[in-house]
Structure 1
Amino acid sequence: MPHSPPTSIDQTLKLLEAGGYVADRSLATVLFLSLRMGRPLFLEGEAGVGKTEIAKVLARTLGRSLIRLQCYEGLDVAAAVYEWNYAGQMMAIRLAEAAGDIDRETLQSDIFSQRHLIKRPLLQALEPDPAGPPVLLIDELDRTDEAFEAYLLEVLSDFQITVPELGTIRAERPPIVIITSNRTREIHDALKRRCLYHWVDYPDSDRELAILRARLPEAPAKLSKAIVGLVQAMRKEDLFKLPGVAETLDWASALIELDAVALDPAVVADTLGVLLKYQDDIEKMKGSRIKEMLDSLERDLKAAE
Structure 2
Amino acid sequence: MAASALPASVDAATALLAGQRYVADRSLATAVFLSLKLGRPLFLEGEAGVGKTEIAKVLASGLGRRLIRLQCYEGLDIGSAVYEWNYARQMLEIRLAEAGSASREEIERDIFDERFLIKRPLLQALEPGVGGAPVLLIDELDRTDEPFEAYLLEVLSDFQVTIPEIGTIKAAEPPIVIITSNRTREIHDALKRRCFYHWVDYPSAARELEILKVKAPEAGPALSQEVVGFVQGLRKMDLFKQPGVAETIDWAEALMQLDALALTPEAINDTLGVILKYQDDIQRLQGSEAQRLLDQVKAELGGQTAH
TM range (shorter): over 0.9
CA displacement at 1:90 relative to structure 2: 0.3
Q: Give the structure 2 partner of residue 68 of structure 1.
A: 69
Q: Give the structure 2 partner of residue 44 of structure 1.
A: 45
CA displacement at 1:296 relative to structure 2: 1.1
Partner Cα separation in structure 2 for residue 106 and residue 206 of structure 1: 67
Partner Cα separation in structure 2 for residue 178 and residue 25 of structure 1: 18
Correspondence 1:156-305 to 2 at 5 A: 156-305=156-305
CA displacement at 1:130 relative to structure 2: 2.2
- Partner letter of residue 28 of structure 1? A
Aligned pairs, how many? 304
Partner Cα separation in structure 2 for residue 105 and residue 210 of structure 1: 65
SS at structure 2 position matched to 1:161: strand
Partner Cα separation in structure 2 for residue 285 and residue 238 of structure 1: 11
SS at structure 1 position matched to 2:168: strand
Partner Cα separation in structure 1 for residue 295 and residue 149 of structure 2: 49
Per-residue displacement from partner, 1:229-262 (whole Å, max 9, x unpaired)?
Answer: 1000000011010000011111111111111111
SS at structure 2 position matched to 1:43: strand
CA displacement at 1:192 relative to structure 2: 0.4
Q: Give the structure 2 partner of residue 146 of structure 1.
A: 146
Per-residue displacement from partner, 1:248-304 (whole Å, max 9, x unpaired)?
Answer: 111111111111111000010000001000000001111111111111111111111
Contact in 1 for aligned 2:65/2:130 (Cα 8 Å) = no
Partner Cα separation in structure 1 for residue 130 and residue 226 of structure 2: 46
Partner Cα separation in structure 1 for residue 164 and residue 211 of structure 2: 47
- Partner letter of residue 300 of structure 1? E
- Partner letter of residue 93 of structure 2? A
CA displacement at 1:106 relative to structure 2: 1.9
Partner Cα separation in structure 1 for residue 93 and residue 131 of structure 2: 34
Partner Cα separation in structure 2 for residue 264 and residue 258 of structure 1: 12
CA displacement at 1:19 relative to structure 2: 0.6
SS at structure 2 position matched to 1:251: helix
Per-residue displacement from partner, 1:146-172 (whole Å, max 9, x unpaired)?
Answer: 100000000000000000000000000
SS at structure 2 position matched to 1:178: strand
Runs of 4 or more off by more than 2 Å in structure 1? none
CA displacement at 1:98 relative to structure 2: 1.8
- Give the % identical residues: 67
Partner Cα separation in structure 2 for residue 109 and residue 266 of structure 1: 71
CA displacement at 1:99 relative to structure 2: 2.1
Structure 2 residue 126 is matched with structure 1 residue 126: yes
Per-residue displacement from partner, 1:41-91 (whole Å, max 9, x unpaired)?
Answer: 000000000000000000000000000000000000000000000000000
Q: Give the structure 2 partner of residue 24 of structure 1.
A: 25
TM-score, normalised to structure 1, is 0.99
Q: Which ranges of structure 1 fall in alignment gaps of 5 or more residues? A: none
SS at structure 2 position matched to 1:137: strand
TM-score, normalised to structure 2, is 0.98
Partner Cα separation in structure 2 for residue 46 and residue 113 of structure 1: 43
Partner Cα separation in structure 1 for residue 291 and residue 144 of structure 2: 42
- Partner letter of residue 247 of structure 1? E
CA displacement at 1:3 relative to structure 2: 0.1
Contact in 1 for aligned 2:205/2:228 (Cα 8 Å) = yes
SS at structure 1 position matched to 2:22: coil
Partner Cα separation in structure 1 for residue 121 and residue 221 of structure 2: 42
Contact in 1 for aligned 2:233/2:293 (Cα 8 Å) = yes
SS at structure 1 position matched to 2:236: coil
CA displacement at 1:109 relative to structure 2: 1.7
Partner Cα separation in structure 2 for residue 253 and residue 113 of structure 1: 51
SS at structure 2 position matched to 1:299: helix
SS at structure 1 position matched to 2:162: strand
| Aligned-pair Cα RMSD in Å | 0.6
- Partner letter of residue 274 of structure 1? V
